[in-house]
Amino acid sequence: PKGLQVDFFMSHHWGEDFGELIQGVLRHAIASAPMVGRKWPDLSYWCCAFANNQHDVQLGSSLEESPFYIALQSPSCIGTIMNLNQVASALQRTWCIFETHITHMLRKSFTINTPLGPLVDAADDSSQKDLWVLHIFRLLQHIDVAKASATSKEDHAKIMAEIATFRSACGQVGPQALNTEVRALMANEAISTLARRGDVKLVQKALTLKADVCRKDRHGIRPLTYAAGQGHTEVEDLLIEVQADPRGRVGAASVLRMWNSD
């Protein structure tokens, strides 16, 4: 009756296919369980559709009093998984983008999740998953907070008022500042796969979007190691030029073989 402690916060769009949503969450649980130190059936996900009474949703008088914020700031909440369908419709929803912002402000982990599971797992050398990464990466470049929509005009106005005062580390203010922040979080999810594929132009684009060149994936592998392990010297040089730790080159091929079943 009192519910369960939240392990992960689910950010999603109601228009997504329910079967694909559940399939993606199941694969996320299986992938995340070893890192959390629990069995995957024991992980708990907070989902608006089931956590709130949809006939009487109480959002509170401020965003900090909303059930979304309360669930995310819970000490037990590891972070957010954003479930994306083929058209990434969640990225067009005001609440989903704001949930991404809250995740960043609370310094929680952020993971893009698809029906194939977490997008960030670059060690999973799958052509199908690579196509997802490339597709989502192209879509994320067009994220625009100002053009996002919400079912409730009141919710949208409340969120936009909150965003209007947001200032990024680089001095931007308002929706443009949040656009930069959200795009960087999304680029972080793609850069390791792009580096492994050796796509110089897309890696450069990810860096332009402020992707973290030193970010590790769930295996603890950085983008430079993926590029070096696959012999993509042009990508290696590009990453080192923007301050990637050159030690990531050492033994890169051996490191990748440890995680590649092929």
pLDDT in tens, 92-128: 888 888 888 889 889 999 888 988 888 776 556 567 7
Q: Which of these, 239, 232, 191, lies nearest to 211 by C-alpha position?
A: 191
pLDDT in tens, 207-225: 998 899 988 887 889 999 9
- The structure's pTM equals 0.77
pLDDT in tens, 62-90: 778 888 889 999 999 999 999 988 888 88
pLDDT at 1: 47
Above 90 in pLDDT, residue 57?
A: no
